[in-house]
Structure 1
């Protein structure tokens, strides 16, 4: 895959876009209140109104914009598409290269709090997925997980990193697994905080208590919480119209997952109708990511990753050294014996007592420690 021009990039959202956002928030047409007293029907009206008012009257996009611009930003043309990425070179002469990949509804923002601890020992490359954030929006139906993995591999090599590590969660986990599976000539090892695989059918008659809990959590996700995924995978363009036109729609589409997928005080078993998202993420933290999706008009383009990838999604074996960190409120968790059916060279395994799907964003200290521990037992 060809990597073209790599050039510096500065994020500078026009003030007119921020003023348009405030006007749209002020003119929101609201639905009626839900008929339950929890989050079981989605984001409650009262909380949506409170968060939208804060977004309109108090939130400051320029703060996170300045944080992002505080690191070196670049655009690289890869296979005809501009890819945005942060590139933080470590001062450590023994630092090793590491590419970090986010998922949906994430962004490069979720890694900002781990840049400092990780850059002590790693050269960090943090790309925005195609169609996300400040990366270009694909105009061809080819940017699947495997295609992105090939693009990331080409980018790392173009930056001079012919041997590197890869890390990811959510779609970032799928991309990272594809890098490990398809580009082992350059990738020396991977770490994932969402372990993408399948339970072993031969174990179903002899499940451990933990495995029963993992299956219950994932079954809850499948029966109650994955409507967004079905829509993204089948009709991403249609859902994009509403989210591109309504900032409150975009906000609730994302904040629902900040509630359901974080360790914010849910009921036993992980059914995400209890708890409150601000127990895990602040208003500003959530609105940083919501604003990024809104200001880059990325609702439809980010959703298309599901359409591009689900039809050909697989669970191929991975033989590079692998580290796995299981956070308790992850939506997909595998026991080690299940994971070993796909990951054939697990060199690090740890199950943590707090944290959820957005590990780097929600628990940056724990996440950074896990990454360091996993790659600490791997060699380039």
Structure 2
């Protein structure tokens, strides 16, 4: 079992979610929030922002039927019923927990740690983005910790399992807000410390989403990160003209993604500009408004996901959306999460360059995600082994298409070498 030599120096503590006390207030505020009876311009669709009918339906579900206690219990029980997932903390009784906090460089870092029963399982860190949290990976954590058959494009396979670690980004939900000059490079550094020093994994694999902390780990910590899987990379997505100029022919799925890319990098980029330039304006305006946060976050969750969201294999239904927003509102972290944009205004690099590592890299494209990087572009930034295209799913793969994400991450396990 991996343990740091002296993790008492990181004040490692078991953690349990207990946000019930905020529910009466959030329900009262949501219930008393007025919304227009009808849409002002009913025919513009969600491209101009969240639709009032959709928002009202979510608000009513939140107040009348959403059961936070049930969701909180589920988030607290990723592994509590499975004895093999015990994690022994030095100087503590042998109590089974699966969530912790540690203090690294003065930052309180919350994380899930779900251990496999397989002694030779590979360590894996899953990294969420905005507007996500560790909850984004709830459907995939336990399956990845269990033994499953991984199959590559070369049609060979073996049993794969992972020790799964899912931290909350600084300033998100239960992780403390960082200093004003904190960047995602700093986040990558403390997450590497989490894996190697706090948890004692000399090497590990990475799955990265937006905010590309995973790619920074892959490119900067080449002795510890020995495999990486991405759905998002920190390079400016190519234009349709650039793709054509490079004689790249897009598949039918990629054509859909390319249209989504154009919409996101055009009018859909307004949220990015607002958060980058005036994080306090939006953060404070919605700080004590559960329905305001619901409108801001749920609009992105819906727009950036597969239009079939909520139908199998997607689990991105109203309950998942309300759980996500509840975590932001009840932890008072909407404002601090928004600051990640102002702290990292130049996240996209227009010049493609290859990471200085020999570790294998994997990429998955889900049809309705918000940015397109064809295989030829992804191959320029790492040691690309596999580029998988899925005709179901969107930006939040862990909720949009959990089975496909699990399969792709298991494929990475075939190539992981400690």
Please report the TM-score for the alignment, with normalisation by the length of structure 2: 0.82
Structure 2 distance, partners of 1:46, 1:330, is 24
**Which range is displaced more, 358-367 or 95-104?**
358-367
Tell me the SS of whatever aligns to 1:99. Answer: strand
Change over 3 Å in CA distance of 1:256–1:4 after alignment to 2: same
Q: 2:40 matched to 1:34? A: yes
Change over 3 Å in CA distance of 1:220–1:118 after alignment to 2: same
After TM superposition, give the deviation of residue 312 of structure 1 in Å: 6.0
2:50 alignment partner in structure 1: 43
Change over 3 Å in CA distance of 1:316–1:306 after alignment to 2: farther
Q: 2:180 matched to 1:135? A: no
1:255 alignment partner in structure 2: 298
Structure 2 distance, partners of 1:221, 1:313, is 14
Structure 2 distance, partners of 1:289, 1:312, is 24
**Which range is displaced more, 125-134 or 212-221?**
212-221
Tell me the SS of whatever aligns to 1:84. Answer: strand
Q: 2:332 matched to 1:297? A: yes
Q: Contact between 1:191 and 1:374, CA under 8 Å: does it hold in 2? A: yes
Structure 1 distance, partners of 2:397, 2:163, is 20
Q: 2:144 matched to 1:118? A: yes
Tell me the SS of whatever aligns to 1:294. Answer: helix
1:62 alignment partner in structure 2: 69
1:162 alignment partner in structure 2: 202
Q: Contact between 1:167 and 1:191, CA under 8 Å: does it hold in 2? A: yes
**CA deviation vs aligned residue, 1:266-300 (integer Å, no higher than 9, x gap):** xxxxxxxxxxx545521111101010011011111
Structure 1 distance, partners of 2:216, 2:234, is 11
Match of 2:192 among 128, 153, 163: 153
Please report the TM-score for the alignment, with normalisation by the length of structure 1: 0.90
Structure 2 distance, partners of 1:336, 1:47, is 36
2:271 alignment partner in structure 1: 228
1:317 alignment partner in structure 2: 354
**Which range is displaced more, 207-216 or 50-59?**
207-216
**CA deviation vs aligned residue, 1:322-363 (integer Å, no higher than 9, x gap):** 0111111111121111112222x1112211121111001121
Tell me the SS of whatever aligns to 1:117. Answer: helix
Structure 2 distance, partners of 1:209, 1:283, is 33
Match of 1:97 among 123, 148, 151: 123
Tell me the SS of whatever aligns to 1:133. Answer: coil
2:92 alignment partner in structure 1: none
Tell me the SS of whatever aligns to 1:115. Answer: helix
Q: Contact between 1:195 and 1:332, CA under 8 Å: does it hold in 2? A: no
Gap runs ≥5 in structure 1: 266-276
Q: Contact between 2:215 and 2:233, CA under 8 Å: does it hold in 1? A: no
After TM superposition, give the deviation of residue 212 of structure 1 in Å: 5.8
1:271 alignment partner in structure 2: none
After TM superposition, give the deviation of residue 115 of structure 1 in Å: 1.5
After TM superposition, give the deviation of residue 244 of structure 1 in Å: 0.9
How many residues were matched structurally?
363
Gap runs ≥5 in structure 2: 1-6, 79-97, 147-160
After TM superposition, give the deviation of residue 40 of structure 1 in Å: 2.9
Q: 2:146 matched to 1:106? A: no
Structure 2 distance, partners of 1:61, 1:178, is 35
Q: Provide the alpha-carbon RMSD of the alignment.
A: 2.0
Q: 2:255 matched to 1:208? A: no
Q: Contact between 1:347 and 1:377, CA under 8 Å: does it hold in 2? A: no
Q: 2:410 matched to 1:372? A: yes
After TM superposition, give the deviation of residue 374 of structure 1 in Å: 2.3
Change over 3 Å in CA distance of 1:45–1:212 after alignment to 2: closer
Q: Contact between 2:304 and 2:368, CA under 8 Å: does it hold in 1? A: yes
